[in-house]
Amino acid sequence: MKLAHLADLHLGFRQYDRQTARGGNQREADIAEAFRRAVDDLLLQRPDLILLAGDVFHSVRPTNPAILFLFRELQRLRAELPDAAVVMIAGEHDTPRSTETGTILRLYEALGVEVVVDQARYVTLPKSDCAVLAVPHQAVAQLERPALRPRRGTTFNVLLLHGQVPGLGERRGTAEYGGALIDERDLAPAHWDYVALGHYHVAQPVAANAWYAGSIEYVAPNPWGQMQDEAERGRVGKGYLLVDLPGARVTFRPIAPLRRHVDLPLIEGKGLTPKELDAHIAAAVAAAKPPIDDQIVRLLVFDVSRATARDLDHAAIRGYKARALHFQLDLRRPPPRPEAHAAGAAGALGQRQTLSETVREFLDHRPLDADLDRGEFVRLGVGYVEQVGREGEGGGDR
């Protein structure tokens, strides 16, 4: 039997301000195109079973275009692969906080898709002589979890589950927030022919026959860290998994993205004048492969003082931003001087830092994921803290 394992589609995900010719969010269109390409490949591979391991939509209340798009793509699968079963579970993004609210996923039962949204349920597939234990996020998040054991009487037994195995993505903070923790021992891969997991966005085995399929596009706040996670595992890009049973022979099927995430070589800004740094930035942009046009681009620059950042050629930077779908120039402040540390230590023995000084120091060195002017970011943050302090003092006088 051949099964296809997809997860974390996040249809309806929106990011940045660029719009399509029809007025939709460009990144939302990118995510939809990634799934369309995955469906195209599924029709070529012709699996017997298609598993969607949760976080089908990016939000509990997806947009009408996202709902309709998924309906059409699933309808295409059902029409062209009529003998293939499709089993879908809800992830945390698909799960409303109130069970009374309901979920849009049940709409797709009209197409013959097996949809499991709250309690774990066995799905028996006589044509494939296979049983799937479908365990959505809500079933894993509750205090009394279901027993994760296969049902006897079928040739193949598959576990489909949306949850977070501890440790994955924690070093760089690339783990998706809000997942229900599940111990690898509870999964008991040895009891199953295959374990199909959703939640972690990088294709990754937790056992020889237990895999995360990863997301089909970059939808995390920190795609750059996620790309580093992928590189460490010798895998570049997004896709889905094709699995042959028995034996759980796993093949990664890449999905060509509509655009690239380009992480330009970092620049050491120490000692550079604004004009010299402008030249380095321009050279990095000019050498980018592919070119930055319509791509999602980040350029890290270390050891840049406020004065240098202020005097950069901001007209040129606006030009880079106009060319790219998104251009993030991440300017990092110099590390604190040793004498500053010594002064801080002396202050700890004598006078403590003010709250404004603490906030300024924190914001000065905090990595910024968004495309923000750090100087303005720090000024506003400290200003808000000082304003609250003044208002508090005024309230005390009254």
Q: What is the pLDDT along the chain (398 residues), one digit of tens a residue?
A: 999 999 999 999 999 988 888 888 999 999 999 999 999 999 999 999 999 999 999 999 999 999 999 999 999 999 999 999 999 999 999 988 766 667 899 999 999 999 999 999 999 999 999 999 999 999 999 888 888 999 888 999 999 999 999 888 777 777 777 888 998 888 999 999 999 999 999 999 999 999 999 999 999 878 898 999 888 888 778 999 999 999 999 999 999 999 999 999 999 999 999 999 999 999 999 999 999 999 999 999 999 999 999 999 999 999 999 999 999 999 999 887 666 555 555 554 545 567 777 777 777 666 665 556 666 777 788 778 777 766 665 554 44
Claim to verify: residue 171 and residue 275 sit in the same structural domain: no
C-alpha 266/C-alpha 331 separation (Å) is: 10
- Residue 237 near residue 222, CB atoms below 8 Å: no
What does each C-alpha distance from 153 to 78, 150, 210, 357 come to in angstroms?
A: 27, 9, 22, 67
- The answer to whether residue 277 sits within a structural domain is yes
Claim to verify: residue 202 and residue 97 sit in the same structural domain: yes
For residue 231, count CB atoms less than 10 angstroms from its CB and return exposed for 0-12, middle for 13-18, buried for 19 or more. exposed
pLDDT of residue 234: 81
Residue where a domain stops, chosen among 254, 271, 295: 254
What's the domain range around 98? Answer: 2-254
- The answer to whether residue 61 sits within a structural domain is yes
C-alpha 201/C-alpha 214 separation (Å) is: 4
Claim to verify: residue 194 and residue 72 sit in the same structural domain: yes
Claim to verify: residue 242 and residue 301 sit in the same structural domain: no
179, amino acid identity:
G
Claim to verify: residue 37 and residue 175 sit in the same structural domain: yes
**Which regions of 83-129 does DSSP assign to beta strands (E)?**
85-89, 114-116, 121-125
C-alpha 384/C-alpha 377 separation (Å) is: 11
Mention every residue, 6+ apart, whose C-beta is less than 8 A from residue 4.
Answer: 42, 45, 47, 49, 50, 51, 240, 241, 242, 243
Claim to verify: residue 243 and residue 282 sit in the same structural domain: no
Q: Residue 45 belongs to what H/E stretch?
A: helix 26-45
Claim to verify: residue 388 and residue 370 sit in the same structural domain: yes
Q: Could you tell me which of 255, 70, 238, 85 has the C-alpha nearest to residue 160?
A: 85
Claim to verify: residue 234 and residue 268 sit in the same structural domain: no
- Residue 222 near residue 202, CB atoms below 8 Å: no
Claim to verify: residue 162 and residue 225 sit in the same structural domain: yes
Claim to verify: residue 218 and residue 276 sit in the same structural domain: no
Instruction: Give, rounded to a whole angstrom, the gap between the first and last alpha carbons of the chain.
Output: 76
- The answer to whether residue 397 sits within a structural domain is no
Helix, strand, coil % over all residues of the chain, rounded to 5: 35, 20, 40
C-alpha 142/C-alpha 144 separation (Å) is: 6
Strand partners, 197: 161, 212
> Strand pairing of 249-254 and 210-212?
unpaired
pLDDT of residue 338: 66
Q: Could you tell me which of 252, 148, 239, 245 has the C-alpha nearest to residue 194?
A: 245
- Residue 278 near residue 316, CB atoms below 8 Å: yes
Claim to verify: residue 74 and residue 201 sit in the same structural domain: yes
Residue where a domain stops, chosen among 209, 237, 254: 254
Residue where a domain stops, chosen among 203, 228, 254: 254
pLDDT of residue 99: 64
Claim to verify: residue 151 and residue 183 sit in the same structural domain: yes
Number of structural domains found in the chain? 2
User: The domain spanning residue 73 has which CATH number?
Assistant: 3.60.21.10
